Structure 1
Amino acid sequence: MRKDLSSQITLDRIPEKFYKPGDAFELAALTRFEKVPVEIFETATEGSNKVALDIAQQIRKKNSEGKLFVLGLTGGRAAMELYAELVRMHKEEQLSFKRVAVVNLYEYYPLAHPMKASFLARIKEMLLDHIDIDPQNILSPDATIDRTNVMRHCKEFEEHIEKLGGIDVQLLGIGRGGNIGFNEPGSQPASHTRLIMLNSDSRKEASLHLGITDQVPVSAISLGIENILNAKQIFLLSWGEDKAEILKTAIEELASPACPASFLQLHQNASYIIDIHAAGDLTRISKPWLVSSCAWDDKLIRRAIVWLCQKVDKPILKLTDKDYNEHGLSELLTMFGSAYNANIKIFNDLQHTITGWPGGKPNADDTHRPERALPFPKKVLVFSPHPDDDVISMGGTLKRLVDQHHEVHVAYQTSGNIAVNDEEVVRFLAFVKGFKDMFDPQNEHLQKTYETLASYVVNGISNSKDDPQKVLAMKGLIRRGEAKAACRYVGVASKNVHFLNLPFYETGSIKKNPISEKDVLIVKQLLNDLHPHQIYVAGDLADPHGTHKVCLDAVLAAIDDLKHEEWFKDCRVWMYRGAWMEWEIDHIEMAVPISPEELRYKRNAILKHQSQMESAPFLGNDDRLFWQRSEARNKATAELYNQLGLAAYEAIEAFVRYIPV
């Protein structure tokens, strides 16, 4: 079973030479916009293993000299695979940590019970509890110290690091504001260990880490930027599309307090270790024609011409030879002979992506249509990671498929239970009690169940170890009901709604299990049962919680196993986005226009998911509700098509075809 096929989605459209240059000359040319060394890997696993190997070699070298190795640790998600590899090396390759000291980069403050919700607890779970480190060599800010002693504690913390000989290797992640540690935008390069008040973005990230929406710590103790820069070597790790924009700022723009991570440019031995998704906005990846000659294909040509249109503020058909020559695209003039020929080619390509028939138009010439006309009607299967991603990302297309008489099925891959606030449970418990009192007042069992769960949810008092699981089951039930209501609203038959409850998700906490054979088998069973002609999957790899990627990998692994089946030869796979970002226009292969009325229908379908409104725990770093984000993205796609000289639509939902590798 191939578990990480989603990484191939990006690799298919980025030539290797741009992220793995062949020699120093190529590297210098490709990276001339980059002000700090950057290594790009195909997967997070490859990058993590490379850094882990480097750290292991340094530990062994220091130990052979009889010296202590000092490792600065981060508690963020970026280091999870690196820590797992260090644990493997310890268990399988006898890598010893007896002469290693670790320094925790930051800690929430104050914490009454630090081992329940602290970064140190997280690091212990991921690394320290599984290696032979001396507990006396674990240095971390004290989250329980009295506030009157915080400043003295920060100074003593720095002095302790100095006594250890300083940090040999410091591991970092990067926040969405460019923060390193909790050094928020505005932090100066001379800043030292201190108590920092967290801004709204950091508090939202804290809520994800802690799994709560209220009582989020308002501050943290963190090493300052000068302390970080004093480390002998620094690795900043980052994976995934959601960090691509801030990474470009940190790597390619001048060092500035507005992006604290950019100060790594001042260090003599700092490097960024990122995957191809996180590198997506770097010039050598997003606009390679500015740093090298290109092996032009249709998608890269489209990307370059769309970029040129935005650069000179013209629609495609008004671009001139001068525009191409003045902006580094003279190669295209050589290929096409003139701007006119290039313009017509890309204009027609974009025009052919637009269709009001996402399932294919019957009795029509489908030569230039994104979806084939036959068979008609089609059996369509939409995979939705959470019980609302279907309507958020492709609600208009979903309704269009139903209205055009296709047999539409929706499969919700996870229960989404942890994304329901306790207040929603209280509301439904009150309904259950009212229902009992109205129709079955003598039902003592139901009354006792109500009292037990209400006491647990409201007061935190548990009478049974099963109470947390029962509450999670209720939360899953709430989301099922909302999903069914949304499906009914857009016309999907209840018998065609499937709840897969993939095992990787059902941990009862934010931390999920890795994808397993069990997850893939459940997806394969549904595919074998339905034999669909069309499959829609969420390709939204910018999901900050990682669930979308695991769900996508489960579907792609199942498809990989089934791709030689006879039924699959007549099946196409389309990837949608929308919850967090939209497909770039150069990759869009099917654009479905949404009318104003259909957009209202889509909004109403999203609003059926009442538990995911303002009080939902995991709205992310975007303050808008999901229907607002979705509409904004759909309208922006339509506006971009219009700016390029194509028809003006109210909104557009976009799709990219996936072809099994």
Structure 2
Amino acid sequence: MRLDLSSHITFERVPKKYYRPENDFEEYNLSRFEKLPVAIFEESGRAAKKIAKDIVTEMKAKQQEGKPFVLGISGGNSPLPVYEELVRYHKEEGVSFSNVIAFNTYEFYPVLDFTYSNLQMLKEIFLDQVDIAPENIFSPNATVEKDLIAENCEAFEQSLKKMGGLDYLLLGLGSKGNVGFNMPGSSLHSETRLVMLDGDSRKDIARNFGSLDKVPVSAITMGMSDMMDAKKISLVAWSEQKAQSIKDIVEGAVTDLVPGSLLQTHPESKVFVDLAAASELTRISRPWLVTNCEWTSKLIRRAIVWLCGVVNKPILKLTNKDYSDNGLSELITLYGSAYNVNIKIFNDLQHTITGWPGGKPDADDTYRPERAKPYPKRVIIFSPHPDDDVISMGGTFQRLVNQGHEVHVAYQTSGNIAVGDEEVIRYISVLNSMRKKFNPENTGLLEKYESIRHYLLHEKSKDDIDTPDILFIKGRIRREEARSADRYVGLPEENVHFLDLPFYETGKIKKNPISERDVNIVKDFIETIKPHQIYVAGDLADPHGTHKVCLDAILAAVDLMKDDDWYKDCRVWMYRGAWMEWEIDHIEMAVPLSPEELRQKRNAILRHQSQMESAPFLGDDERLFWQRSEERNRATADMYWKLGLASYEAIEAFVEYIPVQ
């Protein structure tokens, strides 16, 4: 069973020659804008294996010399697969880490509960899983008194210097191009010190602490000077969220405004990324500027959309000179004139637009994104959380129902941890009022009400996990909000399904990995419907990771069913949520919304009252979900209009998923 198929989605538009050149000549051409060596991998697991192998090789070389191997390690999500592979080396291949001296590159300050410290996280996932001696682990002290911070930093510096500096430094990448907590403005000569965390940095790590108010206001970080003294540095970054930062670090100027760019001055530094994190590099995003291209329809569309932005013209006004002046003369050679290319791409984009997402019955579907038959279709909309369906594709959802299709919605998780305690108090207070009115003798319900209310108001601390009863109530609040939104759309109650995938039901921020049990639940449900269309959340930029796990569960199920007879008449459409939209060169179906339809979509989203201002996990975007959704949909419509197509109020966009063979 293949459980990480979402990582293959990027492959469909990136020919291997752009990230795995055939020879040195092509390598030099492709990377000529890159000022740092970059290794691009199809997915993070493969990169992690390469990095871990390099670390083990250098560590063993030191062992043979009878010398310690001084390793700098970082927290965050990016290095995790590397640590997992290092642990595998130890447990499965018997590799000893006894000569490793580990330096934690940063620590939060102050940390009142050590379970939330960066060092504790590193111990749980790596240090305590191998045979590194406890006395060989060095970290800034997260509990030292404030007037001893400078002394603590100096002691950490002296320990590092005593060991002769780092042999190998493994770094993650922050959202502002920071390494460790060397934030924009950090000097190349900075040493270990206390830094104040800005709002964005605190939001980046809020997931580890459960909520923003638990995140420390500062951190102690190894300085740029210490990092640059390392003999070898590997910077790792995965996912689209890091793509712009990677471009700035690799192709931008060396500046303290992007601390990671200082790695350009290090002779033995290298960047390891997956295709998603590499997506803004010139060789991936604009390969026509560095090499001869394999001109697929999507790549031509990407180039023309880019060209329209450069020269500030709609598609049909582009000239031969515009193409020649901007590195696209190859297209003129292939198609004979700018006009021929313009018409092709204009029609290509025009054909993505449809008001019939389920296919228009009795219509010529030659140039439509969806086939006319069968009609009506059986449709499944998968929603990772109980509101992603209306947030991400509420207008399309409404059209599918209005146009007579048999629509089913499947909510993959309960979303219970995203409900605030005050919501629970409000709902149980209503329930208790009903008890008093209709069943005053029900002492059991009264005791349950008083117990829950007292716990939430007087006993529960910020770090406590909700009780099973509270999680149940929070889950039911979200269920009923979803049912309310579905009723507003017009969906029959029997077509609303709650899967409650096991990976999610931990009661904690941290979820379990995807399992075969999750996949089988999804597979069994799909087989009961045998749909003609499946809509899934392809929004891998979700900072909490739930969307990716939910997508992997669906794609793994599809992988098991793709050869079944019924599946041959099924299409899978990926939508994106409130975090990021599909780039226009990917869009294969664009569903326009009128002002009235956009208002109806907003009303459906507003049915999810617990996810308005008081929702715990709005992320680093201060806008509410309905605001993000409307602005994203309007921006997509505006892009189509700027390219010279019809002007719509808003557009929801979709990309078809083709199963991996």
Q: TM class by shorter-chain length?
A: over 0.9
Tell me the amino acid that sits aligned with residue 388 of structure 2.
D
Partner in structure 2 of residue 494 of structure 1: 493
SS at match of 1:129: helix
Hey, what's the Cα distance between the residues in 1 that align with 2:659 and 2:247?
A: 30
**Cα pair 1:184 1:199 within 8 Å, conserved:** no
**Contact 1:578–1:633 (CA under 8 A) maintained in structure 2:** no
C-alpha separation between the residues in 2 aligned to 1:97 and 1:646?
A: 61
1:242 alignment partner, SS class: helix
Give, in angstroms, the shift of residue 330 of structure 1: 0.6
Partner residue, 2:17: 17
- Matching residue of 2:87: 87
What secondary structure, in the 3-state scheme, does the structure 1 residue paired with 2:165 have? coil
Deviation at 1:429, TM superposition (A): 3.0
Deviation at 1:467, TM superposition (A): 5.9
Which residue of structure 2 aligns with residue 98 of structure 1?
Answer: 98
Deviation for aligned residue 1:650: 0.4
SS at match of 1:170: strand
DSSP-derived class of the 1:410 partner: strand
**Structure-1 separation of matches of 2:33 and 2:248:** 11
Deviations 1:91-131 (A, max 9, x none): 111111221111111111111222x2111111111112211
1:76·1:173 contact (CA, 8 Å) conserved in 2?
A: yes
State how 1:199-598 maps to structure 2 within 5 Å.
199-461=198-460, 468-598=467-597
TM-score (norm 2): 0.97
CA distance, structure 1, for counterparts of residue 218 and residue 433 of structure 2: 42
Deviation at 1:478, TM superposition (A): 1.6
Query: Structure 2 vs 1, CA of residues 466 and 104 (structure 1 numbering), >3 Å: closer, same or farther?
Result: closer
Contact kept, 8 Å, 1:456 with 1:467, in 2: the verdict is no
Give yes or no for contact 2:48–2:81 (8 Å, CA) kept in 1.
yes
- The letter of the residue matching 1:279 is A
How many Å separate the matches in 1 of 2:296 and 2:334? 11
In structure 2, relative to structure 1, the CA distance for the partners of 1:232 and 1:432 (3 Å cut) is farther
Q: Is the 8 A contact 2:506 2:512 kept in 1?
A: yes
The 1:214–1:428 alpha-carbon spacing in structure 2 relative to 1, beyond 3 Å, is farther
**What is the CA distance between 1:451 and its match in structure 2?**
2.6
- CA deviation string 1:472-516 (max 9, x = no partner): 222212211111111111112221111111111222222222221
CA shift for structure 1 position 657: 0.9
**Counterpart of 2:3?**
3
CA RMSD in angstroms comes to: 1.5
Q: Distance in 2 between matches of 1:566 and 1:90?
A: 45
Kindly tell me: are residues 467 and 210 of structure 1, through their superposed partners in 2, closer, same or farther at Cα, counting changes over 3 Å?
A: closer
Q: For residue 282 of structure 1, what is the amino acid of its counterpart?
A: L
In structure 2, C-alpha distance between the alignment counterparts of 1:606 and 1:281, rounded to whole Å? 32
Tell me the residue number matched to 1:76. Answer: 76
**2:186 is the alignment partner of 1:187:** yes
For these two proteins, the number of residue pairs brought into alignment is: 658
Secondary structure of 2:659's partner?
coil
Equivalent pair of 2:175/2:204 in contact (CA under 8 Å)? no
- Equivalent residue, structure 1, for 2:603: 604
| Counterparts of 1:136 and 1:295, CA distance in 2 | 55
Asked whether the 8 Å contact 2:169–2:227 carries over to 1, the reply is yes
Question: 2:41 aligns to what?
Answer: 41
**Partner-residue secondary structure (3-state), 2:423:** helix
Match of residue 160 from structure 1: 159
Distance 1:185 1:613 in 2: 33
User: CA, structure 1 residues 355+477, in 2 after alignment: closer, same or farther (shift >3 Å)?
Assistant: same
Instruction: Kindly provide the CA deviation profile for residues 173-217 of structure 1, in whole angstroms up to 9, marking residues without a partner as x.
Output: 111111111122222222221111110111112221111232321
Residue 636 (structure 2) aligns with: 637
CA distance in 1, matches of 2:456, 2:49: 42
C-alpha deviation, 1:24, in angstroms: 2.0
CA contact under 8 A between 1:453 and 1:467: conserved in structure 2?
Answer: no
**Residues of 1 paired with 2:330 and 2:631: CA distance?**
35
Q: Give 1:578 deviation, angstroms.
A: 3.1
Match in the other structure for 2:111: 111
Q: Distance in 2 between matches of 1:435 and 1:101?
A: 63
Residue identity in the other structure for 2:270: S
What letter matches 2:458 in structure 1? Answer: N
In 2, distance between residues paired with 1:269 and 1:221?
25
Structure 1 distance, partners of 2:70, 2:434, is 62
Query: 2:27 matched to 1:27?
Result: yes
CA distance in 2: counterparts of 1:202 and 1:49, whole angstroms: 29
Residues 239-287 of structure 1: CA distance to partner in whole angstroms, max 9, x if unpaired?
Answer: 1111111211111110112211111112111111110011111110000
**Inter-CA distance 460–19: structure 2 relative to 1 (3 Å threshold):** farther
CA distance in 2, matches of 1:193, 1:285: 36
Q: Secondary structure at the match of 1:214?
A: helix
Q: What is the rounded CA distance, in whole Å, between the counterparts of 2:612 and 2:264 in structure 1?
A: 41
TM-score by length of 1: 0.97
C-alpha distance 434-225 of structure 1, shift in aligned 2 (>3 A)? farther
SS in 1 for 2:354: coil
Q: Aligned in 2, Cα 1:426/1:195: closer, same or farther, shift over 3 Å? A: farther
List alignment gaps of at least 5 residues for structure 1: none
Cα shift readout 1:429-488 (whole Å, capped 9, x = no counterpart): 3333333333333322222222322233333459xx996222222221221111111111
Q: Distance between the aligned counterparts of 2:460 and 2:256, measured in 1?
A: 46
Counterpart AA for 2:576 = R
Question: For 2:375, what is the secondary structure of its paired residue?
Answer: coil
- Alpha-carbon distance in 2 for matches of 1:271, 1:102: 20
Q: Which amino acid aligns with 1:281?
A: E
The 1:409/1:92 distance shift into structure 2, 3 A limit, reads same
Q: Give, in whole Å, the separation in 1 of the partners of 2:119 and 2:410.
A: 38
Distance 1:435 1:119, change over 3 A: farther
Alpha carbons of 1:394 and 1:467: their partners in 2 closer, same or farther (altered >3 Å)? Answer: closer
Q: Which stretch shifts more, 145-154 or 203-212?
A: 203-212
* CA distance in structure 2 between the partners assigned to 1:125 and 1:46 by the alignment: 23
What percentage of aligned pairs have identical amino acids? Answer: 61
Residue 660 in structure 1 maps to residue 659 in structure 2? yes
Q: Which stretch of the first structure deviates more once superposed, 288-297 or 598-607?
A: 598-607
